[in-house]
Amino acid sequence: MDRSTLTRNTRLPRRDGLIRIEAGEDRDTLTLAMFRRGRSALKRARA
Q: What is the pLDDT of residues 32-43, one digit of tens each?
A: 899 999 999 999
Domain that holds residue 31: 3-46
Q: What is the pLDDT of residues 10-28, one digit of tens each?
A: 999 999 999 999 888 888 8
What pTM value is reported for the model? 0.72
Query: How far is 47 from 32, CA to CA, in rounded Å?
Result: 23
What lies within 8 Å, CB to CB, of 26 at 6+ separation is none
**Total tally of structural domains belonging to the chain:** 1
Amino acid 20: pLDDT: 94
Contact of 37 with 17, CB cutoff 8 Å: yes
Query: How far is 47 from 15, CA to CA, in rounded Å?
Result: 23
Amino acid 30: pLDDT: 84
**At residue 23, what are phi and psi to the nearest 5 degrees?**
-65, 145
Beta bridge partners of 32: 21
